[in-house]
Amino acid sequence: MTKPKVLISDKMDPNAARIFEERGCDVDVITGENAEELKARIGEYHGLAIRSSTTVTPEILDAATNLKVIGRAGIGVDNVDIPYASGKGVVVMNTPFGNSITTAEHAIAMTMALARMIPAANARTQNGEWPKKDFMGIEVTGKTLGLIGAGNIGGIVATRAQGLRMKVIAYDPFLTEDRAVELGIEKVDLDNLLSRADFVSLHTPLTDQTRNILSRERLENAKPGIRIVNCARGGLIDEAALKDCLESGQVAGAALDVFAEEPAKENPLFGAPNFICTPHLGASTTEAQVNVALQVAEQMADYLVNGGVTNALNMPSLSAEEAPKLKPYMALAERLGSLVGQLAHGNLTKISIEREGAAAQLNGKPITGAVLAGFMRRYSDTVNMVNAPYLAKERGLEVSEIRHERDGAFNTLIRVTVETESGPRSVAGTLFGSDKPRLVEIFGIGIEAELDGHMLYIVNDDKPGFIGRIGSLLGERGINIGTFNLGRRDAGGEAVLLLSLDDAPTAETIAEAEKVEGVKTVTALVF
Ligand SMILES: NC(=O)C1=CN([C@@H]2O[C@H](COP(=O)(O)OP(=O)(O)OC[C@H]3O[C@@H](n4cnc5c(N)ncnc54)[C@H](O)[C@@H]3O)[C@@H](O)[C@H]2O)C=CC1
Ligand SMILES: O=C(O)C(=O)COP(=O)(O)O
């Protein structure tokens, strides 16, 4: 196997490059390139490790013809077009906890800096002014902190703020009552929060629902003299409205670490009263950067080298321990999916994946992904486990997964069934010797065959002499048969023949085979 190649395109702790190398990847660190430069380069890489400065657009992804994984050394992934990456079969992962304490601490630092106007006091003192009378601050003790978003970072901010004796309330539609009780915070709606909070701190991702969540209207109707801290994402606040509210005094102060447009070299808020800012430093501590660099490199290398999937945003997790165990199952699942995809006719809208025996004890999601990857190949040749579920959804394919506790004739079995116009059609397979995929049933007929390379699937009448006729036809045409597998429904009834061939059969060979006495259908298959 060639070594996976990874590009680190944003400034990252050197531990990331070290881990990639130790785990068997080639790595280039090339930061600060513009989109055109990245587009020209990305085609040669299997992995792309980023922070927030690289934006991964559809154009970049179209050029990324070998890319398998994007790793975000951090939390927010609004700089990656995840639906497009999924469509391209690229896994997107982040490191959801590595910088959360650091970012929460930055929000607390910003809160204290706002309360006591530390940046301006510092600047003017160092300017020789000694402006003691201009900086009358407020205490945070006893004040109400309103969190918009109370997930990992919001939750940590809550505990730190409670340590400062603040009362914490939160607006987060996904916060459970139990978690709110555990955090000792009151769950409220957004209007209530804005009418009560002395400080507001934002901790949501940037999504279509949260964009502009602090709109002009909400800022203008908030509690007069409110102070706002944003260490989450720029697009959450209407910046022009915030500037007006700072100037009118409606908002008593704002501390932003993030801006709608970054890098923010110019911004309407610069110079506004009681406005302080940092250049997206929320995650910038030595501890957090080591954490996220180590974690992203471990996760990406795991995927590129062993197929393990951790913290992916567009694929189910698969631990590095599970991956080798699941590998033969995934090969079996993909072939079964591919077989029904090649054989079943018409518009297929339902597929079910059943697992029995040892297979029922395994993580089913990767097996389903592999079946769908094999099956969807009937529609697209760029399909893989990552994009198959998305493509299946796009085509309206209904997928069901069934686990049977019962033990059947095989100690492990995967069955794939599609609903066709003439009823359900199903194929099943097992593993021989724990890692060799074998087909054991095709459309109700027991058979035992490897699914590999070029094959011919022939349905025929179970009559004497048939096998000789087919063998002679192929022999006369100089086609070498690798394996020869037979199955039949009843003696003298419908029978099937699966042949593996050294080369792809020509259309002419197939037409000749169809003319052989007793043959009903001939289908060329490829795995
Ligand atoms: N300034 C910086 O350097 C950093 C910024 N961040 C930002 O902080 C964000 C939050 O990070 P975490 O707390 O780790 O994420 P998280 O996923 O643990 O928490 C986000 C919370 O927002 C809530 N939420 C989602 N939609 C909402 C809505 N419409 N209204 C209210 N709440 C909503 C979710 O329910 C969740 O509880 C990240 O998405 C990232 O954008 C993260 C790290 C560093
Ligand atoms: O982790 C996040 O979401 C961040 O915003 C941190 O951004 P950065 O890695 O410092 O560019």
Would residue 508 count as lying in a domain? yes
The verdict on 451 and 329 lying in the same domain is yes
Q: Would the CB of 387 count as within 6 Å of ligand 1? A: no
Q: What is the pLDDT of residues 412-449, one digit of tens each?
A: 999 999 998 889 999 999 999 889 999 999 999 999 99
Q: Ligand 1, from 52, 75, 148: best to mutate by most atoms within 8 Å of Cβ?
A: 75
Residue with tokens 């006369």: 476
Q: Ligand 2, from 12, 99, 286: best to mutate by most atoms within 8 Å of Cβ?
A: 99
Q: Which of 206, 184, 256 is CA-nearest to residue 227?
A: 256
Q: What ipTM describes this predicted complex?
A: 0.99
Q: Would the CB of 99 count as within 6 Å of ligand 2? A: yes
Q: What is the pLDDT of residues 130-156, one digit of tens each?
A: 999 999 999 999 999 999 999 999 999
CA distance 337 to 351: 9
Would residue 316 count as lying in a domain? no
Average pLDDT over residues 182-191: 97
Report pLDDT for 422: 84
Q: Would the CB of 210 count as within 6 Å of ligand 1? A: yes
Average pLDDT over residues 287-314: 95
The verdict on 91 and 131 lying in the same domain is no
What residues are paired with 50 via a beta bridge? 72
Q: Would the CB of 86 count as within 6 Å of ligand 2? A: no
Q: What are phi and psi of 249, to 5 degrees?
A: 90, -10
The verdict on 141 and 253 lying in the same domain is yes
Q: Would the CB of 75 count as within 6 Å of ligand 2? A: yes
The verdict on 354 and 387 lying in the same domain is yes
Straight-line distance from the first to the last Cα atom of the chain, in angstroms, rounded to the nearest whole number: 20
The CATH code of the domain that includes 348 is 3.30.1330.90
Would residue 113 count as lying in a domain? yes
Query: Is 233 known to be catalytic?
Result: yes
The verdict on 349 and 245 lying in the same domain is no
The verdict on 431 and 356 lying in the same domain is yes
Position in ligand 1 atom list of the atom nearest CA 106: 1
The verdict on 36 and 172 lying in the same domain is no
Position in ligand 1 atom list of the atom nearest CA 283: 3
Position in ligand 2 atom list of the atom nearest CA 76: 3
Residue with tokens 């399909």: 383
The CATH code of the domain that includes 211 is 3.40.50.720
Q: Would the CB of 294 count as within 6 Å of ligand 2? A: no
CA distance 173 to 190: 10
Query: Is 321 known to be catalytic?
Result: no
- How far, in Å, is the centroid of ligand 2 from the Cα of 62? 25
Report pLDDT for 1: 67
The verdict on 89 and 223 lying in the same domain is no
Q: What is the pLDDT of residues 93-136, one digit of tens each?
A: 999 999 999 999 999 999 999 999 999 999 999 999 999 999 99
Would residue 314 count as lying in a domain? no
Query: Is 280 known to be catalytic?
Result: yes
Report pLDDT for 263: 95
The verdict on 53 and 106 lying in the same domain is no
The verdict on 259 and 365 lying in the same domain is no
Show the domain range for 86. 5-96+287-306
Task: Say which residue, 391 or 166, is predicted with more confidence.
Answer: 166
Q: Would the CB of 76 count as within 6 Å of ligand 2? A: yes
Would residue 139 count as lying in a domain? yes
Would residue 268 count as lying in a domain? yes
Report pLDDT for 462: 87
Two tokens, residue 20: 């990639």
Two tokens, residue 161: 């703020």
Would residue 407 count as lying in a domain? yes
Which amino acid is present at 241? A
Global pTM exceeds 0.80: yes
Would residue 265 count as lying in a domain? yes
- Over the Cα atoms of the chain, what is R_g? 30
What residues are paired with 419 via a beta bridge? 424
Report pLDDT for 36: 97
The verdict on 104 and 214 lying in the same domain is yes
- How far, in Å, is the centroid of ligand 2 from the Cα of 231? 10
Average pLDDT over residues 442-471: 92
The verdict on 482 and 497 lying in the same domain is yes
Q: What is the pLDDT of residues 20-65, one digit of tens each?
A: 999 999 999 999 999 999 999 999 999 999 999 999 999 999 999 9
- Whether residue 373 contacts residue 421, with contact meaning beta carbons closer than 8 Å, is answered with no
Tally of domains in the chain: 3
